[in-house]
Amino acid sequence: MTTASYRIRPAGPDDAAFLADVTLTATRAQGRLPADFDEADWRGGFEEWSLESIDDPATDLNVIELDGRPVGRLRISRTPGSVELNGIQLHPDAQNRGIGTAIITELQSEAATRGVPLELHVERDNPNARRLYDRLGFTKTGEDGAEDVMQWTQLWNAAVAKRYDTPGTGMFAPEVLGPTVDRLAELADGGRALEFAIGTGRVAVPLSERGVPVSGIELSNAMIAELRTKVDETAIPVVVGDMSIVRAPGEFSLVYLVFNTISNLLTQEQQVECFRNAARHLSPGGRFVIELWVPELRRLPPGTPATVGVAEPGYILLDTYDVLNQHVVSHHFHFGEGTQAELGRTPHRYIWPAELDLMAQLAGFTLESRHADWTGSPFTADSPSHISVYRLSTT
């Protein structure tokens, strides 16, 4: 199929009536208008909302044009942590010409360049849109009323998942993984364990082999596919979705989140919800364990927004900081003997230990212990990371 030539331009006040028209026409063509739909009332409210969106600096409301005539509506929001597709509607005459796919692909490219996810909501009674998003690689991460929340990210795609495991070295080294599994097995205390962001099973598989029943939540289907090369669904069941929202069946004595992964949630609100979701899964007195790095702002030279985290043959890690929003983007440079390098980016929101403790309190936890590593070394002002164990109330 050849993609039609289209143009996107900013919407103005004179476009408010058209934006309502095209949204109404597209929805009516799909047979999705309720029987008691009040068109006049809806149109008045929608046009007013469109005018507000035009004036909103945080939102880009656009008109899609084809051959010089308006045929669609596109609304996008951009935040430090994501690109959000708030809505795309095309007149039926402009559909099935590749325009929607091309626009979303451009947004995916933008999100990948920034190193952030592309997010959207889709109504459950809109199967055509859902099929498009599924085809373009979006994953359902939660629900919001009558809508599914979906996300696309290049951070944990198939290529990343394939090279994620480094058996015997790095975070897979026995001296790293052994104490991790030992401590988690102790904290599970004979009960079931749930891993948020289970990934390829770096921790879950050896913990399961120790006799601890383990389940998982994971956003990336590619990472789950790698996990499935090691164990099947009966051994370690996994629910696909956002660890701050999605529920796994059953009750657990331990929920754990390792290797700085809570910082992959890019807002304070999402991080608090992660604690609350852990609490929802735990039995009274259960534990939530977090492994997290301590922000390295003391290493940040005045006036310089970046630090070098790792510099070794074939790999350089450069972290750039946005101290206003507590965001850091890790830039991973992989290179060989030649002049070419491969760049990958991972965005994070860093959290101070005291802030983490307050998040825990908001979810009903108290801090039980904090150590510098999995072997129980004392946590000090110079510790680069910590293992924090939070306990849920028994009442």
User: In the sheet where 282-293 sits, what is the strand order?
Assistant: 238-240, 214-218, 193-196, 252-257, 282-293, 385-392, 365-371
3-state class of 247 per DSSP?
A: coil
Joined together, the tokens standing for residue 126 give: 């809109």
Q: Give CA–CA dist 361/228, Å, rounded.
A: 36
Length of the chain: 395
Buried b (16+ CB within 10 A) or exposed e, 321-332: beeeebbbbbbb
Angle at alpha carbon of residue 194, lines to 191 and 195, rounded to 5°:
140
Count the neighbouring beta carbons within 10 Å of the beta carbon of residue 50.
22
Q: Which pLDDT value is given to residue 4?
A: 65
pTM of the predicted model, to two decimals? Answer: 0.73
DSSP three-state, residue 262: helix
Q: What are phi and psi of 338, to 5 degrees?
A: -85, -160
For every one of its 395 residues, what pLDDT tens digit does the chain have, with 9 covering 90 and above?
A: 445 689 999 999 999 999 999 999 999 998 888 889 999 999 999 999 999 999 999 999 999 999 999 999 999 999 888 899 999 999 999 998 889 988 998 998 888 778 788 999 999 888 888 888 888 878 888 888 989 999 888 777 777 788 888 888 888 899 999 999 999 999 999 999 999 999 999 999 999 999 999 999 998 888 999 999 999 999 999 998 889 989 999 999 999 999 999 998 888 988 999 999 999 999 999 999 999 999 988 888 788 888 888 898 989 999 989 888 898 888 888 898 889 988 877 888 999 999 999 999 999 999 999 999 999 999 999 999 999 999 999 87
CA-to-CA distance for 389 and 187, rounded, in angstroms? 9
Helical ranges in 139-240 per DSSP H = 158-164, 174-188, 204-209, 221-227
Q: Report how far residue 156's alpha carbon sits from residue 159's, in angstroms, rounded to the nearest whole number.
A: 8
Q: How much is the pLDDT for 1?
A: 42
Q: Label residue 112 left, alpha or beta by phi (over 0 means left) and psi (-120 to 50 means alpha).
A: alpha
What is the DSSP code string of 44-113?
A: HHHHHHHHHHHH-TTEEEEEEEETTEEEEEEEEEEETTEEEEEEEEE-GGGSSSSHHHHHHHHHHHHHHH
pLDDT (0 to 100) of residue 3: 57
Q: At what angle do helices 39-55 and 16-29 cross, to 10 degrees?
A: 130
Q: What is the pLDDT of residue 59?
A: 94
Q: Which residue is it, tokens 């383990």?
A: 214
